[in-house]
């Protein structure tokens, strides 16, 4: 019996009615009073499965049911790491909290969460996974799921993340930018052709992928993962902001995702020989304006890396983090915990 079949047998033992129906998944996200992160989007789960496809990735995500009604979603994948060991995550790094519909009773939610954790233990036992890392994605509060997991944690740690408060006016947001960025934004709009693409042709999206390969000097990930990102734009989950020169040659691109209330900076690529020019500044400004027009509450720029972080950042990560901080209106602390799963077998 192959490992995928064995894992799904474990899932069905705990959740006999679980499935991966897109419509049901989306209905849950549309009817929650939580703030789903982009990691709770089904398309993003599929992206990570594709991203780690060379590492035997398997999508274990599920729509959770009560009395045949879809009441929650749980993003979950497994894949092997560089040491050929299985890891269980939602995004290649950690496990996010499940999301439930707003009218699900508290007792029902607790029962489902208990079964979910028991299922995670069984999967970890089957794959000999020694440790799992869990993250609290909710802003400004700890989820009940995370609070319950704290009882099993062997350690907790914090990361810091950069936000733009989209409830502010554009003028208020700009007033919080790093002072030097304001002139860079104006210069960038004058020097480059900046375009927001909420729809995109395959040819135009391929230009983004090829620019990424040129700058990286290699193919960085499977083509299927790029295809999923293209479909996210088609489905209006994502959008692109492009930078072109006077000859209409593509010199930079930023890609942005949207969940129900949160925008996210997914990736960007810019010609390295133009790093002394204001390329990314007008891209970020255009993204902020677009996300605000969409009615989103927050824009998450990315992590604020620190030398004291649990996972030591590279100099490149520190530099990019410093740049992003110049646009942020707020910095939040995000809580993580690790559980020694082998203690629970």
- The model's pLDDT over 19-57, given as tens digits with 9 standing for 90+, comes to 888 899 999 999 999 999 999 999 999 999 999 999 999
Q: Residue 44 falls within a domain, yes or no?
A: yes
Q: Assess whether 129 and 277 both reside in one domain.
A: no
Q: Which of 152, 178, 200 is the last residue of a domain?
A: 152
Q: How are beta strands 77-80 and 58-59 bridged, if at all?
A: antiparallel
* Nearest alpha carbon to residue 305 among 285, 334, 276, 262: 334
268: Cα separation from own chain's centroid: 14
Residue 20 has a pLDDT of: 84
Task: Tell me the average pLDDT across 194-208.
Answer: 95
Residue 17 has a pLDDT of: 81
Q: Is 80 exceeded by the pLDDT of residue 98?
A: yes
Residue 219 has a pLDDT of: 87
**Inter-residue contact 60 to 123 (CB < 8 Å):** yes
Sign of CA dihedral 220, 225, 231, 235: negative
Q: Residue 321 falls within a domain, yes or no?
A: yes
Q: Assess whether 224 and 242 both reside in one domain.
A: yes
Report the predicted TM-score, pTM, of the whole model to 2 decimal places.
0.94
Q: Assess whether 201 and 303 both reside in one domain.
A: yes
Q: Assess whether 131 and 188 both reside in one domain.
A: no
Task: Tell me the average pLDDT across 91-102.
Answer: 97
Q: Residue 257 falls within a domain, yes or no?
A: yes
Residue 276 has a pLDDT of: 85
* Strand runs labelled E in the chain: 58-59, 62-66, 69-74, 77-80, 86-89, 99-100, 131-135, 155-165, 193-197, 238-244, 250-258, 262-270, 298-303, 330-340
Residue 330 has a pLDDT of: 98
Q: Residue 295 falls within a domain, yes or no?
A: yes
Q: Which of 109, 124, 152 is the last residue of a domain?
A: 152
Task: Tell me the average pLDDT across 93-107.
Answer: 96
Residue 18 has a pLDDT of: 80
Q: Is 70 exceeded by the pLDDT of residue 58?
A: yes
Q: Which of 152, 171, 189 is the last residue of a domain?
A: 152
75: containing domain? 3-152
Q: Mention every residue, 6+ apart, whose C-beta is less than 8 A from residue 2.
A: none
Task: Tell me the average pLDDT across 287-300.
Answer: 98
Q: Assess whether 79 and 171 both reside in one domain.
A: no
Tell me if residue 291 falls in helix, strand or coil. helix
Helix extents (H) in 31-162? 42-51, 106-127, 144-149
Compute the distance between CA of residue 97 and CA of residue 40 in angstroms, rounded to an integer. Answer: 9
Q: Assess whether 250 and 187 both reside in one domain.
A: yes
Q: Assess whether 189 and 126 both reside in one domain.
A: no
Q: Assess whether 87 and 53 both reside in one domain.
A: yes
Q: Residue 342 falls within a domain, yes or no?
A: no
Residue 1 has a pLDDT of: 59
Percent of the residues in the chain that have a pLDDT greater than 90, as a whole number: 92
Domain total in the chain: 2
Say which residue the tokens 């994948």 belong to. Answer: 77
And the tokens for 117?
């954790």
Residues 59-88: tens digit of each pLDDT: 999 999 998 899 999 999 999 999 999 999
Task: Tell me the average pLDDT across 180-198.
Answer: 96
Q: Assess whether 62 and 123 both reside in one domain.
A: yes
CATH number at residue 189: 3.40.630.30
Percent of the residues in the chain that have a pLDDT greater than 70, as a whole number: 100
Mean pLDDT of the chain: 95
Q: Could you tell me what percentage of the chain is helix, strand and coil, using 3-state DSSP and rounding each to the nearest 5?
A: 40, 25, 30
Predicted confidence band at 123 (pLDDT cuts at 50, 70, 90)? very high
CATH number at residue 46: 3.40.630
Q: Assess whether 136 and 190 both reside in one domain.
A: no
Residue 165 has a pLDDT of: 98
Q: Assess whether 112 and 174 both reside in one domain.
A: no
Q: Residue 345 falls within a domain, yes or no?
A: no
Task: Tell me the average pLDDT across 226-230.
Answer: 96
- What is the Cβ-side half-sphere exposure of residue 236, based on CA atoms within 13 angstroms? 4
Q: Residue 306 falls within a domain, yes or no?
A: yes
Compute the distance between CA of residue 131 and CA of residue 166 in angstroms, rounded to an integer. Answer: 37
Q: Is 90 exceeded by the pLDDT of residue 148?
A: yes
Q: Residue 344 falls within a domain, yes or no?
A: no
Q: Mention every residue, 6+ apart, whose C-beta is less than 8 A from residue 284.
A: 254, 265, 301, 327
Q: Assess whether 100 and 238 both reside in one domain.
A: no
């Amino acid at each position: 019996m192959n490992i995928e079949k064995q894992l799904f047998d474990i899932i069905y033992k705990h959740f006999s009615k679980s499935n991966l129906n897109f419509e049901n998944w989306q209905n849950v996200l549309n009817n929650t009073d939580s703030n789903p992160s982009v990691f709770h989007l089904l398309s993003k789960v599929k992206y990570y499965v594709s991203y780690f496809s060379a590492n035997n990735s398997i999508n274990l995500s599920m729509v959770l049911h009560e009395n045949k009604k879809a009441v929650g979603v749980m993003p979950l994948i497994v894949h092997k790491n560089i040491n050929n060991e299985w890891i269980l995550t939602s995004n290649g790094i950690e496990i996010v909290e499940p999301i439930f519909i707003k009218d699900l009773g508290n007792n029902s939610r607790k029962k489902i969460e208990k079964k979910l954790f028991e299922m995670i233990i069984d999967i970890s036992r089957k794959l000999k996974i020694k440790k799992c890392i869990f993250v609290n994605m909710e802003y400004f509060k700890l989820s009940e799921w995370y609070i319950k997991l704290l009882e099993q944690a062997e350690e907790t740690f914090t990361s810091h993340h950069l936000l733009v408060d989209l409830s502010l006016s554009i003028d208020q947001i700009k007033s919080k930018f790093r002072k030097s960025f304001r002139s860079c934004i104006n210069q960038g709009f004058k020097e480059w052709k900046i375009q927001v693409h909420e729809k995109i042709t395959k040819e135009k999206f391929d230009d983004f992928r090829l620019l990424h390969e040129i700058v990286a000097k290699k193919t960085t990930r499977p083509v299927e993962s790029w295809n999923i990102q293209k479909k996210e734009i088609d489905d209006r989950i994502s959008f692109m902001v492009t930078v072109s020169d006077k000859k209409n040659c593509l010199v930079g691109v930023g890609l942005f995702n949207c969940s129900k209330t949160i925008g996210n900076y997914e990736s960007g690529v810019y010609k390295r020989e133009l790093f002394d020019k204001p390329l990314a500044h007008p891209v970020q400004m255009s993204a902020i304006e677009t996300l605000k027009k969409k009615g989103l509450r927050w824009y998450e720029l990315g992590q604020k890396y620190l030398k004291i972080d649990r996972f030591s950042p590279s100099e490149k990560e520190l530099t990019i983090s410093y740049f992003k901080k110049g646009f942020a209106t707020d910095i939040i602390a995000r809580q993580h915990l690790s559980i020694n799963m082998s203690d629970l077998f």
